[in-house]
Amino acid sequence: MRSKASSWSLASKMLKPKRVSCEGIDISEVGKLHMELLILRNEKIDQSQMLRALKRLETFESSMQELEEGLGVSFRLLLKN
């Protein structure tokens, strides 16, 4: 399990303003998600805003899982060679 410090370090690297695309995953989506979470934290919101944020989080989680699986496959292939 990652420590909080390394997790935050990873998150801060992903929030840099550059736009990079990897298999259809646009890193700028991380920035959008971050802004939406800040709004949720600082304002009273309605149910539709909460559901939209939840959907975005679920999509992000799925994208991260796909990325991790792809990296795992790549790593195993590198070890074989």
Looking at the 3D structure of the chain, how many domains does it have?
Answer: 1
Write out the H or E segment, with its range, that includes residue 33: helix 28-42
26 assigned to some structural domain: no
Average pLDDT per 10 consecutive residues for the chain, totaling 81 residues: 51 51 61 80 80 86 91 91 80
33 assigned to some structural domain: no
* Global pTM value: 0.52
2 assigned to some structural domain: no
Helix 28-42 × helix 47-80 angle, to 10°: 140
The domain of 64 spans 47-81
66 assigned to some structural domain: yes
12 assigned to some structural domain: no
